[in-house]
Amino acid sequence: MKITIFGSGYVGLVTGACLADAGNQVVCVDIDAAKVALLNSGHVPIYEPGLEAIVSGNRAAWRLSFTTDIAAGVEHGEALFIAVGTPPDETGSADLKYVLAVARSIGEHVTGFKVVADKSTVPVGTGDRVAEAITAELVKRGFAADPAERVRLDQPDFTVISNPEFLKEGAAVTDFNRPDRIIIGADGTPAGRRGLELMRQLYAPFTLNHDRTMVMDVRSAELTKYAANAMLATRISFMNELANLAEDLGADIELVRRGIGSDPRIGYSFLYAGTGYGGSCFPKDVSALRHSAAEQGRELRILAAVEEANTAQKDVLGGKIRTRFGEDLTGLTFAVWGLSFKPNTDDMRDAPSRVLIADLLRRGAAIRAYDPVAMEEAKRVLAFDLDGGMGRIDFVETAMAAVTGADALVIVTEWKVFRNPDFAALARGLGRKAIFDGRNLYEPSIVEDAGLAYFPIGRRQVS
């Protein structure tokens, strides 16, 4: 099948590469010429395990290409996926300017029948707005506004499908190839049924063992994506709140997690206490869902609390450091392990490390930072956060190099490489012999035996 993907960011690139790997002819359209050139050379601008090999292999097999030519992209695809960014605007709602710009471009160039699939995370009602934008351009070209008239006159026509993504950064290729569900939102018109059948054919190779396709109306599909991310964010904030309470009560949040996670009605996923959620999805999607509710005159009180709890949680490590060393941290150096918002990605969007580092620097401390993947991206975003004032941040090449000359270690991201350190070496290297663990990687007794003070989240502290 011939497929066009508009947008070669995280979602668009993974979608295009995996669909090409299934034997489709895929063209990815992006307005960033430098990115297109990089991708056409077989390299990718983001870190995602397994992705670069798939891009390079399918480029070599002529199943995947990248272009800035919008008209050629529209002409190529039987299905046109919109996978551009929907960043938050000043109100907290998702900004649809890029989505609607693609829709207008489709309307300007479409011939024949096209299935337009919204892959971007968009508010409920966006499918209607995309259809209106495409129709407006068709009318400008002299075609009928009524879809029935376009069919009767054999004019260009289309249907808008909602096909939200459910990809976890760090496991996106696996998630796409082995989906736990495929949501397709379509209307009941003949064009909608035709689009649904095409989408079923497209995803058939990914559901051979068990059909996980769920068909619903467009608006329900749009809401499903926001509801899923809001639920996961809620679980994270709930566990963080419990972790803080566990410290007050002398309980161990890890034991609590195992106890409640064993209940099949609850399960273990997204029940780990830590420094708060970040990334490209949860923060903006929770905010956008609250904004959509507000437009209907409804307040989502649980999600307001989720956001408030998450904002506060990003200062928990900083609070533990201040309790230990005081408000003025001048003269102290902290090793920071982990900069990306989660492991197996270089994504720094809303990463808790950004809040922590800015606070430590503001209080006079110096930083020795290490991340297995996100160093270059961290340098870029921290330079922006700190308005170029990065003189007291030293980015080093190994985890142990960060410890050299540091007073204390702060763990922000749970990369596997941090899970089994040489505690004796840490005790020798850290001037104040303290670890502040934002991901509960270690058993307190093991750290205690090494002669180190240990400050996890919601567990017994060793001081």
How does pLDDT run across 378-421, given as a tens digit for each residue?
999 999 888 877 889 999 999 999 999 999 999 999 999 999 99
Q: Residue 173 in contact with residue 51, Cβ under 8 Å? A: yes
User: By C-alpha distance, which of 434, 439, 438, 436 is closest to 453?
Assistant: 434
Phi, psi of 369 (to 5 degrees): -110, 145
Q: Residue 271 in contact with residue 231, Cβ under 8 Å? A: no
CA terminus-to-terminus distance, the chain: 62
- In this structure, the dihedral spanned by the alpha carbons of residues 416, 420, 421 and 424, taken in order and rounded to 10 degrees, is 170
Q: Hey, which bits of 68-197 come out as E strands?
A: 79-82, 113-118, 157-162, 182-185
Q: To which residue do tokens 């051979």 refer?
A: 208
Estimate the crossing angle of helix 218-249 against helix 282-295, to 10 degrees: 120
Phi, psi of 379 (to 5 degrees): -60, -40
Token pair, residue 11, equals 């979602």
Integer Cα distance of 146 and 5 in angstroms: 27
Token pair, residue 173, equals 């290729």
Q: Residue 426 in contact with residue 409, Cβ under 8 Å? A: yes
Q: Given CATH 3.40.50.720, say whether it is the number of domain 314-455.
A: yes
Sorted by where each begins, the domain ranges of the chain are: 2-216, 226-311, 314-455
Q: Choose which CATH entry (3.40.50.720, 2.40.50.180, 3.60.15.10, 3.40.640.10) describes domain 2-216.
A: 3.40.50.720
Phi, psi of 46 (to 5 degrees): -125, 160
Measured over the CA atoms of residue 386, residue 387, residue 391 and residue 394, the dihedral's sign is positive
Residue 296, burial from CB neighbour count under 10 angstroms (0-12, 13-18, 19+): exposed
Token pair, residue 462, equals 């060793």
Integer Cα distance of 288 and 306 in angstroms: 13
| 281 given a catalytic annotation | yes
Token pair, residue 424, equals 């004796």
Q: Hey, which bits of 68-112 come out as E strands?
A: 79-82
Give me the architecture of the 226-311 domain, per CATH: Orthogonal Bundle (1.10)
Q: What is the pTM of this model?
A: 0.94
User: By C-alpha distance, which of 86, 90, 110 is closest to 100?
Assistant: 86
User: By C-alpha distance, which of 362, 342, 361 is closest to 351?
Assistant: 342
Strand partners, 108: none
Phi, psi of 157 (to 5 degrees): -145, 170
What is the DSSP code (8-state) at residue 35?
Answer: H
Give me the DSSP letters along 359-409: HHHHTT-EEEEE-SS-HHHHHHHHHHHTTT--TTEEE-SSHHHHHTT-SEE
Q: Residue 72 in contact with residue 2, Cβ under 8 Å? A: no
> How many CA within 13 A on the CB side of residue 173?
17
Token pair, residue 251, equals 């309980």
Secondary structure class of 437 (helix, strand, coil): strand
What is the DSSP code (8-state) at residue 429?
Answer: H
Q: 368-384: b or e for each residue (b if 16 or more CB lie within 10 Å)?
A: bbbbbbbbebbbebbee
User: By C-alpha distance, which of 374, 422, 417, 368 is closest to 392?
Assistant: 368
Catalytic residue, chosen from 100, 281, 410, 450, is 281
What pLDDT sits at residue 129? Answer: 98
Positions in the chain whose pLDDT score sits under 70: none
Please tell me if the domain spanning 2-216 has the same topology as the one spanning 314-455: yes
Q: CA angle, corner 235, sides to 342 and 212, nearest 5?
A: 85
What pLDDT sits at residue 76? Answer: 98
Sheet holding 333-337, edge to edge: 393-395, 366-370, 333-337, 408-411, 434-437, 453-455
Integer Cα distance of 288 and 269 in angstroms: 23
Strand partners, 158: 114
What pLDDT sits at residue 42? Answer: 85
pLDDT tens for each residue of 344-364: 999 999 999 999 999 999 999
Residue 53, burial from CB neighbour count under 10 angstroms (0-12, 13-18, 19+): middle
